[in-house]
Amino acid sequence: MLINNDTIVKDSDPKIRQKSKPVSLPLSKEDETLLRELFQYVKDSTDPELAEANNLRPAVGISAIQVGVPKQLTAVIVHEVDNEEKEITHEYMLVNPKIVSSSVQKAYLNSGEGCLSVQEEHEGHVVRSARVTVKAFDLIQNKEITIRARGYLAIVLQHELDHFKGVLFYDHINPNNPFEEIEGALVI
């Protein structure tokens, strides 16, 4: 499947609001191929030459519904720097991921969120949980895993899993006070 900026389902298409269904394991060849293609899109999208040559917008994650397939499949690649200034890369090809717990503390990206399916800018704080625990099957490790995520990775996972419910990031922005300060929130 060709995945690029032209083929990604945009928020003007009601298909993006469709709920995604769980996928049976072991993965069918079709589902495995799709998940690998989603992962490759994310990987290639951060390489400026590949992105320009293939019409890719930079991404840290993409879910199957964004290419018109209502299945609980998502690919995520997040680069972070730990407390010792070492770069850590989180790479996942997740099947049927579920948030099993989340913190009371809230978090948001100071610069706001974006989405491959959303072309217009939506300014405001997208308030999410600062920490989440996600259980899923990961195709990279080829096993069931538990991810304990905080900060940016937690936000990315929540963003991608929202796609399974037909929810877009701007649905979380307070329409009356988009830049409302959230007491005790982790600002990233």
User: pTM of the predicted model, to two decimals?
Assistant: 0.95
Query: Is-catalytic flag, 180?
Result: no
Please give the Cα distance from 23 to 13 (Å, whole number): 23
CATH 3.90.45.10, domain 14-187, yes or no: yes
Confidence bin at 105 (pLDDT 50/70/90) = very high
From the list 113, 160, 180, 183, the catalytic residue is 160
Summarised one tens digit per residue, pLDDT across range 158-182 is 999 999 999 999 999 999 999 998 9
Q: What is the pLDDT of residues 131-160, one digit of tens each?
A: 999 999 999 999 999 999 999 999 999 999
What percent of the chain has a predicted confidence (pLDDT) above 70?
100
Q: For the chain, how far is it from start to end, CA to CA, in angstroms?
A: 34
Is 85 a residue whose pLDDT tops 90? no
